[in-house]
Amino acid sequence: MGVVKGDQMILNIGPQHPSTHGVLRLEVMTDGEIVSEIRPHLGYLHRCFEKHSENVTYEQVIPFTDRCDYLAAMNSNFGYVVAMEELMEIKVPERVDYIRVIMGELNRIASHLLALGVYGLDIGAFTPFLYMLRDRERILDMFEYTCGARLLYNYMWVGGVSHDLPKDFQKICIGFLDYFEPQIEEYNNLLTYNKIFVERTADVGVIPADVAVSYGVTGPNLRGSGVKWDVRKDEPYSIYDRFDFEVPLGDGHFGTLGDCFDRYWVRMLEIKESVKILRQALKDIPGGDVHQMLPKKIRPPKGSVYRRTESPRGDLGYYIMSDGTPTPYRVKMRSPAFTALSVLDEVSRGWMISDVIAILGSLDIVLGEIDR
């Protein structure tokens, strides 16, 4: 006689569901309300950006990278151009490095603000989301002022950036930082110390450090588990070795080390560190030309390079292979959100369905980057 498993059910979350942050389908096997297995189905946004890249020139790949991680397009550009410059062994003018760091860190703040705000929204806190989007909007305004685009910038080019900073950019940016820094305390009062929020996130979805490393989880998710790993510190690229900043780690603030709250909290602390970097960069930025003289068609020497950079979501790696022609032979993007999503199944087992939403939100995934 077989056992009738009357409580078992398969629940489909998505493809169109607000808490999947894009077009993602989760096939959730449940026993009553306890999750026993999750099978993510990806590929709804797959455009095969890697195949496209093999048919265009090296510069034309940059707009594609914008559209992968559309919430942190500056950082996507940044990773690609850093990898290209390593492949071609060129150095960019100092001003360009400073501009890139400023843009990268501003975009990190913008991306984290959205991540934190939407996370609150997932769990049922609507108000903080509006406050955070209000401030994110001011960062997007600065981007628009600099390069004309609000989300998809195509700003960083190999060997330079597309436009120099506007003359009064420094003043505007410092004004923004002076306004923004006290706001962080406001977010904390609105969301972080909220009892309901803490109850929903603390002790939920713990990722132990060894599991995180084995699953290739990186960025704030890895640091939330207490592993000190930040590409900006450990494999410095561009000019990140010049700045003085801390790498915030999760410490089991309200619960266990590596729970959803720690991942949330690390992001909040990282915003403060980004502000620190921005203040230093804005103070020290030198003058000069922002367009390194490069031929119209770039022909890197034969060879390959793998370079990773720290995007808001983690280690964003590019594997670029050149055969000496103006089109790339192979471009591979190692997407941090892709690896973060892969851990969902293991972490969610044994939790309730409503906790899965909390865990998924805490991983901060962007589907454009997962599906590429």
Partner 1 sequence: MTSAEIKAAIESQHPGTIVEREDLADHQVELKRDQWLEMATFLKNDPNLSFDQLECLTGVDTGEEGPLETRYNLHSMEHRHKIEVVISHDRENPKVASIEQLWRIGDWFERETYDMYGIVYEGHRDMRRILCPDDWEGWPLRKDYEGQESYHGIVVPKMKEEDGWE
**Shortest distance, position 187 Cβ to partner 1, whole Å:** 31
Q: Does 164 bind partner 1 (CB under 8 A)?
A: no
Which of 227, 281, 290, 347 contacts partner 1 by CB under 8 A?
Answer: 227
The three-state (H, E, C) secondary structure of 222-233, written as one string: HHHCCCCCCHHH
Part in contact with partner 1 (CB under 8 A); list of ranges 4-12, 102-110, 213-221, 275-283: 213-221
**Residue with tokens 């003018």, as numbered in its chain:** 93
Which of 339, 355, 361, 369 contacts partner 1 by CB under 8 A?
Answer: 339
**Among residues 160 and 300, whose Cβ is nearest to partner 1?**
300
Contact 230, 311 (CB under 8 A): no
Compute the half-sphere exposure of residue 182: CA atoms within 13 Å on the CB side of its CA.
Answer: 3
Report the run of H or E that residue 330 belongs to, with start and end: strand 330-334
Coil/strand/helix, residue 310: strand
Between 124 and 163, how does the x/- string for binding to partner 1 read (CB under 8 A)? ----------------------------------------
**Shortest distance, position 49 Cβ to partner 1, whole Å:** 11
Query: Any bridge partners for residue 309, and if so which?
Result: 316
**Among residues 98 and 215, whose Cβ is nearest to partner 1?**
215
**Residues within window 89-118 making contact with partner 1, judged by CB under 8 A:** none
Range list of H helices, 57-168: 62-68, 73-88, 94-123, 127-147
Q: How many residues sit in the footprint of partner 1 (CB under 8 A)?
A: 34
**Residue with tokens 């410059």, as numbered in its chain:** 85
Contact 153, 70 (CB under 8 A): no
**Among residues 125 and 321, whose Cβ is nearest to partner 1?**
321
**Among residues 63 and 216, whose Cβ is nearest to partner 1?**
216
**Shortest distance, position 125 Cβ to partner 1, whole Å:** 32
Which of 216, 236, 255, 326 contacts partner 1 by CB under 8 A?
Answer: 216
Per-residue tokens: 229:
């790993």
Instruction: Find the distance separating the first CA and the last CA of the chain, reported in whole Å.
Output: 48
Part in contact with partner 1 (CB under 8 A); list of ranges 66-74, 129-137, 212-220, 245-253: 212-220
Report cis status (omega within 30 of 0) of the bond before 40. Answer: no
**Residues within window 296-335 making contact with partner 1, judged by CB under 8 A:** 303-304, 306, 308, 315, 317, 319, 321, 330, 332, 334
Q: Does 215 bind partner 1 (CB under 8 A)?
A: yes
Say which amino acid occupies 179. Y
Query: Any bridge partners for residue 289, and if so which?
Result: none
| 213-241 as b/e: b if 16+ CB within 10 A | eebbbbbbbbbbbbbebbbbeeeebbbbe
Per-residue tokens: 157:
């080019």
**Among residues 128 and 317, whose Cβ is nearest to partner 1?**
317
**Residues within window 47-86 making contact with partner 1, judged by CB under 8 A:** 48, 50-51, 55
CA–CA distance, 367 with 369 (Å, rounded to integer): 5
**Among residues 229 and 240, whose Cβ is nearest to partner 1?**
229
Q: Does 43 bind partner 1 (CB under 8 A)?
A: yes
**Among residues 66 and 315, whose Cβ is nearest to partner 1?**
315
**CA distances for 152 relative to 70, 74, 82, 156, 169, angstroms:** 7, 8, 18, 11, 20
**Shortest distance, position 61 Cβ to partner 1, whole Å:** 15
Q: Does 257 bind partner 1 (CB under 8 A)?
A: no
**Among residues 42 and 140, whose Cβ is nearest to partner 1?**
42
* Strand duo 22-23 + 16-17: pairing: antiparallel
Residue ranges in contact with partner 1 by CB under 8 A? 42-43, 46, 48, 50-51, 55, 210-211, 213-216, 227, 229, 234, 303-304, 306, 308, 315, 317, 319, 321, 330, 332, 334, 338-339, 342-343, 346, 371-372
